[in-house]
A and B are shown apart, each in its own frame.
Chain A
Amino acid sequence: MAELVVGISDLKVTNNPADSMVTYALGSCIAVAVYDPAVKVGGLLHFMLPDSSLDAEKARETPGMFADTGIPLLFKSCYKLGADKKRMIVKVAGGASILDDSNFFRIGQKNIMAMRKLFWNNNVLIDAEDTGKNVNRTVRLDVGTGKVWVKRAGGPPEEL
């Protein structure tokens, strides 16, 4: 079984049911896990920032950095492997903040808002979500079963 590690600002897709995909240490970043059970295609994105208008060049070079470039690319990459938007299950986790989230460092909240808006505008429903609060998370997608596991720092993995 191959474990595909998805780094910050990165995304991966696979149709090998023996694979599992994992992304570590989500703070304010968000992991988007998508899965089409009919063709067993899975994808995982770890985006860092809400909006690619911040830096067009970085967005071209590293589309996985931003919600508005990473999420569309994640879906398109899955379509190439035969996934169908209508069947795709979408689960998200992350977008945490440090204590006192009304402050300068609330990138997590901005990421959540940007992601929700994008899904809303594209008629995509989020099937399960574990976002916000002030915990670090590790997210795993098991491509054989489509199960998504979220492990909060210091806790056991729990199915999302």
Chain B
Amino acid sequence: MKLDKRILQSIRALPPFPATVRKVMALAGDPDSSHTELAAVIRLDQAITANVLRICNSAFFGLRRPVDNVGDAILHMGKKNVLRAVMAAGLSRYFRTARGYDVGGRDLWEHAVAVALMSQICAARISIPDDPRLFTAGVLHDIGKMVMGEFVHEAWQRIRALREGQGYSFLEAEEEVLGVNHAALGGEIALMWKFPDEILKAIAFHHRPDQLASGDTVPWVVYLSNQACHVMGIGVGTDALAYRAVGDVAGRFGIKQRDLEDMMARLHHSMREARELVSIVPGPGRNGDA
């Protein structure tokens, strides 16, 4: 993809993907890795360790007794859940206010967590295995907005004119004015971070899974989950509802609108329990412009 020079410079200026999270992702996906190895890697990062323990002891994971060290956390929760906690603890720092979308860092993070949780609720509903890629892709699907925000802000009048005057979706307006949309740009960031191809695609096509030739369900699950969170108004900005529905997601997954409603109700409960997961982002709260 040919990116505008300034946009390219901005993605190169992003901090590198956190080494601890990368190592934990690799170890958690390796069936031969031991709990001791995993715990040792996490312990090296004190900030992540503190947040991981907070998250593990939150209502979301519902442990009977609180854990006070990473080894016990892995023992009681399993590798998969510890991986989620590490991802949340390690990645929340990327979420900053995105000016052009008029949304604060905390709201963006809340949206990211909501889409990751909704992806799991969705996977359960359509009876596909709870794939750890879903959580990763869900949390990071909007990472492109971290870079796009400034450029969207600069080009706001033109984007708005296309949106309101000519019926463009927000995605189409980004593409027309800036030459790239936030999803595709997220794909470029995933490429820079050397993410596996399927996670890269789920990020890059989270609004347009219909453009992918492969039959992989992960991008469709992330798409459905993201649309649901936009409809519910969870952590969204001025672009909230300015996206199109694509493809026949109901037919593809064999679900009805009532299933979607049920998923929304479940997500609402999950989000209450996931309070610790959401609140690990410091910084300004809601910016008042919901």
Residue numbers of A with Cβ under 8 A of B are 8-9, 24-29, 48-50, 54-55, 58, 62, 65, 96-100, 103-108, 110, 134-136, 138, 151, 153-154
**A residues less than 8 Å from B261 (CB atoms):** 49-50, 54, 107
Per a CB cutoff under 8 Å, which of A65, A99, A136 touches B233?
Answer: A136
Query: Total A-B residue pairs with C-beta atoms closer than 8 Å?
Result: 109
With a 10 A CB-CB cut-off, give which of A8, A27, A55 has the most chain B CB atoms. Answer: A27
Interface size class of B (residues with CB under 8 A): 20 to 34
Per a CB cutoff under 8 Å, which of A65, A98, A154 touches B238?
Answer: A154
Do the beta carbons of A107 and B260 come within 8 Å of each other? Answer: yes
Do the beta carbons of B260 and A25 come within 8 Å of each other? Answer: no
Task: Look across to chain B and name the residue whose beta carbon is closest to the beta carbon of A133.
Answer: B241
Residue B74 interfacial (CB < 8 Å): no
**Nearest Cβ on chain A to B125's Cβ, whole angstroms:** 14
Expressed in whole angstroms, the Cα–Cα distance for A111 and B262 within the complex equals 14
Query: Could you list 7 examples of A-B contacts with CB < 8 Å?
Result: A24-B290, A49-B261, A58-B269, A98-B245, A134-B241, A135-B240, A153-B102
**A residues less than 8 Å from B236 (CB atoms):** 25, 27, 136
**Nearest Cβ on chain A to B236's Cβ, whole angstroms:** 6
Expressed in whole angstroms, the Cα–Cα distance for A110 and B228 within the complex equals 15
Expressed in whole angstroms, the Cα–Cα distance for A108 and B257 within the complex equals 12
Residue B61 interfacial (CB < 8 Å): no
Do the beta carbons of B268 and A54 come within 8 Å of each other? Answer: no
**Nearest Cβ on chain B to A40's Cβ, whole angstroms:** 26
Do the beta carbons of B227 and A154 come within 8 Å of each other? Answer: no
Do the beta carbons of A28 and B265 come within 8 Å of each other? Answer: no
Do the beta carbons of B244 and A27 come within 8 Å of each other? Answer: no
Do the beta carbons of B245 and A105 come within 8 Å of each other? Answer: yes
**Nearest Cβ on chain A to B147's Cβ, whole angstroms:** 21
**A residues less than 8 Å from B289 (CB atoms):** 138, 151, 153-154
CB-CB contacts below 8 Å: B158-202 with A: 160, 169
Residue B234 interfacial (CB < 8 Å): yes
With a 10 A CB-CB cut-off, give which of B230, B232, B235, B249 has the most chain A CB atoms. Answer: B232
Per a CB cutoff under 8 Å, which of A24, A48, A136 touches B241?
Answer: A136
Residue numbers of B with Cβ under 8 A of A are 102, 160, 169, 227-228, 230-238, 240-245, 249-250, 257-258, 260-262, 264-265, 268-269, 286, 289-290
Expressed in whole angstroms, the Cα–Cα distance for A154 and B289 within the complex equals 7
**Nearest Cβ on chain B to A141's Cβ, whole angstroms:** 15
Per a CB cutoff under 8 Å, which of B228, B241, B249, B250 touches A97?
Answer: B241
**A residues less than 8 Å from B268 (CB atoms):** 8-9, 48, 62, 65
Expressed in whole angstroms, the Cα–Cα distance for A151 and B234 within the complex equals 17
**B residues less than 8 Å from A135 (CB atoms):** 240-241
Expressed in whole angstroms, the Cα–Cα distance for A20 and B37 within the complex equals 54
A-B pairs with lowest CB-CB distance, top 5: A24-B290, A25-B233, A25-B290, A27-B233, A103-B245
Do the beta carbons of B262 and A27 come within 8 Å of each other? Answer: no
**Nearest Cβ on chain A to B33's Cβ, whole angstroms:** 39
Expressed in whole angstroms, the Cα–Cα distance for A104 and B258 within the complex equals 10
Task: Look across to chain B and name the residue whose beta carbon is closest to the beta carbon of A27.
Answer: B233
**Nearest Cβ on chain A to B177's Cβ, whole angstroms:** 16
Do the beta carbons of A54 and B265 come within 8 Å of each other? Answer: yes
Do the beta carbons of A58 and B265 come within 8 Å of each other? Answer: yes
**Nearest Cβ on chain A to B262's Cβ, whole angstroms:** 6
Do the beta carbons of A138 and B231 come within 8 Å of each other? Answer: no
Do the beta carbons of A105 and B260 come within 8 Å of each other? Answer: yes
**B residues less than 8 Å from A24 (CB atoms):** 233, 286, 290
**Nearest Cβ on chain A to B160's Cβ, whole angstroms:** 8
**Nearest Cβ on chain B to A130's Cβ, whole angstroms:** 14
Do the beta carbons of B244 and A96 come within 8 Å of each other? Answer: no
**A residues less than 8 Å from B102 (CB atoms):** 153-154
Do the beta carbons of A104 and B257 come within 8 Å of each other? Answer: yes
**B residues less than 8 Å from A25 (CB atoms):** 233-236, 240, 290
Do the beta carbons of A105 and B227 come within 8 Å of each other? Answer: yes
Expressed in whole angstroms, the Cα–Cα distance for A61 and B230 within the complex equals 24
**B residues less than 8 Å from A134 (CB atoms):** 241-242
